[in-house]
Structure 1
């Protein structure tokens, strides 16, 4: 790991929260009012917090932070209804006065090394600029839709949906945090965050008045079967009046459902809010049942966006940690410019839903960069698709098809929680 001359990597703690916010606000072009600035202390993952500090006076004021990053630590759902430890890289920021000096590269390398030390075989992130992280081996592993539905959008009937209880309230982490955790723990869709620390929950419930843009406070809708929570959504409403009447908008910030009955019940609530003419819902999986429950598929205005970017840090641990849809026995040559231990030929022997992955000296059946393996990891992008794009090279006939079938997922991946 190389740190640029005149700087050093350090661990940061809560005493430097406002310095971190200063760097982040410069990097992402925002300002938080002082009355709300303490939010960083609640949502920042301090157990993995790192920064780059100025040493050389010619680079800036010694002791000042030139960059910062941290990672949320959670378990990520992967194909086969399994989970793996994951480092959710976030808050990656370089002060504009210290750009083009290798600080970002030093922080990414630091993140990789420390994640591996903690036993996290994969890293994931939401990309502010998608080209940046591809340089470090992150592959686009999940796409999601954002859709806008008009008030009163009709959905097909789902047996038992109308029997479920709906609770709508002002959102409170104290009253509703356990409900969010309970539903998330039941999700099996690859990309879902199913076990997580308090910082993730604090981030989910974060509701800064300065970011509402005229909308009301954060509200929560919960769907229950008796006492059992099945779905939830955090939302804001923004009122607007036109000459013809109310034209407000509901924005669903984050949501989850562990049951199709609850999905239908929740959707009907979200598209029938008084004084609101439309509802925007984000983080929708491309095969989600809500899309098939719409009576008129054209009722939803949709846009497909990149969702989760994944980086495999430990090839055998990551591949052995996921489920496999079909048997295969192929050898794959992996190139990896940042993690030399991954750069090898790996024999993947998948059988009965699991896999054993070992180094081999035998000729490779396939060859690809770590970015492509990461893109296929959650089962949303197939090896066959990547091969057609010229990003996977087949040396043995049939190897692409075999590995592609084995790595597919019955559910399209998406992460419903941003970080």
Structure 2
């Protein structure tokens, strides 16, 4: 998560690079977990409220989370002096940890009680690379790149997850964020990342760096008593999962995630948890199984505190590949109606889990927009499946931090899509980086991107080809970083 501490008005947000802080938590999910860190966002609370609790199966939890926040000050926090020279941007090392912690305290405040102090030995953590902007020896800004893969158009694409951003107050508006993005995204392209994503609290800051909101991660609340009215499943029952069941649950997640645009693959260095770790992080992981004992759904849940009006069940993943699987899982959650009046579920988009509910009760209590930008335009379009036929030349302009500006020839055929740089003349569809992210992700059509002022030029025929090529999958996310 990126928490932005900036000017209040939108115009200022658009003009100032600002200062941000991430509350990261390690990836304890069906795909694995990072190094242990007891900081996990409590569903339904403010993004700034970080409570110790079991790690979510779906919401990411970063290694060394306290280093992102800072730590409880022991002595004076380092004084900040405005940058007076061109900053030096480089990867952070363990020698920079104390300055990074101080910057985190300055932006976010003291680390909550019960969280361990960050150590040099745990820095930077698996799948993570910190970058800093220095004025001489003084750290004036920082940014974290997370190593991920995510599902887009049926393909696993290398993904640069941006988090942990903080800039000292005196440097707001001085261009440090832009310099950090240039360095971090250059490193991401060198690694082979095709897209970059982040969770902002002020999207306007990141639009100038080519990002645009394509979906939203939400926590929703459903009255537990209403779940008792879900129709009983036919041929499906529930049982408690053990560590031996985790491979089957991961396989079900893969089936679901591959059919969407946006979900992390939950593989790689950011997800190194063992099956035992994952099971131990929840009150329960419940499977929905059919008559042959094949897994057709699962939910990972924690029993919140209390059994009165404040009692609740907190669900991190609720996924199924059949309607009967969803019914079985909802009814299991409804069985808590006498002791927990609410169920909270982490979700996004138009969740199919809702299709079997008998009432309209589905209240969003927390929302986190998810932003995307393309880093490698040819690779991003080449990943698209064959959905249409035609050739379009498109242009990208106003990319201030990465090298996507220029013209591209896109050819769609029955064999798939090819995309390569070109240098044509004439009137062609011209996208801002954010406009291209909206189209490519399937979040918006060319017509809507034009209405937003993020696409000009080209013809109706160009728009038809681009719409057909980029359509096809709903947008969903489940992991918060």
Asked if the contact 1:309–1:375 (Cα under 8 Å) also holds between the matched residues in 2, the reply is: no
Q: Are 2:260 and 1:196 aligned? A: no
So what's the TM-score if we normalise by structure 1? 0.79
| Aligned partner of residue 174 in structure 2, secondary structure | coil
Asked if the contact 1:372–1:391 (Cα under 8 Å) also holds between the matched residues in 2, the reply is: yes
Distance 1:135 1:277, change over 3 A: same
- Structure in which a larger fraction of residues adopt strand: 1
- Quick one: distance in 1 between partners of 2:463 and 2:335? 47
- Quick one: distance in 2 between partners of 1:278 and 1:39? 39
Distance 1:42 1:233, change over 3 A: farther
Q: Deviations over 1:111-140 (max 9, x none)?
A: 110001001121111113211111100011
RMSD of aligned Cα (Å): 3.5
Q: Are 2:186 and 1:113 aligned? A: yes
Q: Are 2:305 and 1:239 aligned? A: yes
- Quick one: distance in 2 between partners of 1:25 and 1:227? 50
Distance 1:385 1:345, change over 3 A: same
Q: Which residue in the other structure is 2:62 paired with?
A: none
Distance 1:6 1:33, change over 3 A: farther
Q: Which residue in the other structure is 1:50 paired with?
A: 130
- Quick one: distance in 1 between partners of 2:252 and 2:127? 25
Q: Deviations over 1:320-351 (max 9, x none)?
A: 12335333322212113325642222221112
Q: Which residue in the other structure is 1:408 paired with?
A: 471
Q: Which residue in the other structure is 1:211 paired with?
A: none
Instruction: Please point out which of 111, 129, 132 is paired with 1:31.
Output: 111
How far is 1:302 from its partner? 3.7
| Aligned partner of residue 338 in structure 1, secondary structure | coil
Matches within 5 A, 1:244-323: 246-257=309-320, 260-273=323-336, 275-286=339-350, 288-296=351-359, 298-302=360-364, 305=367, 307-323=369-385
Q: Deviations over 1:8-43 (max 9, x none)?
A: 223234565554344234323452336523499769
How far is 1:313 from its partner? 1.0
Q: Which residue in the other structure is 2:387 paired with?
A: 325
Q: Are 2:129 and 1:67 aligned? A: no
How far is 1:365 from its partner? 3.5
Matches within 5 A, 1:5-44: 5=85, 7-14=87-94, 16-17=96-97, 19-29=99-109, 31-33=111-113, 35-38=115-118
- Quick one: distance in 2 between partners of 1:358 and 1:241? 60
How far is 1:303 from its partner? 6.5
Question: Which runs of 5 or more residues in structure 1 are unaligned?
Answer: 57-61, 208-216
Asked if the contact 2:319–2:353 (Cα under 8 Å) also holds between the matched residues in 1, the reply is: no
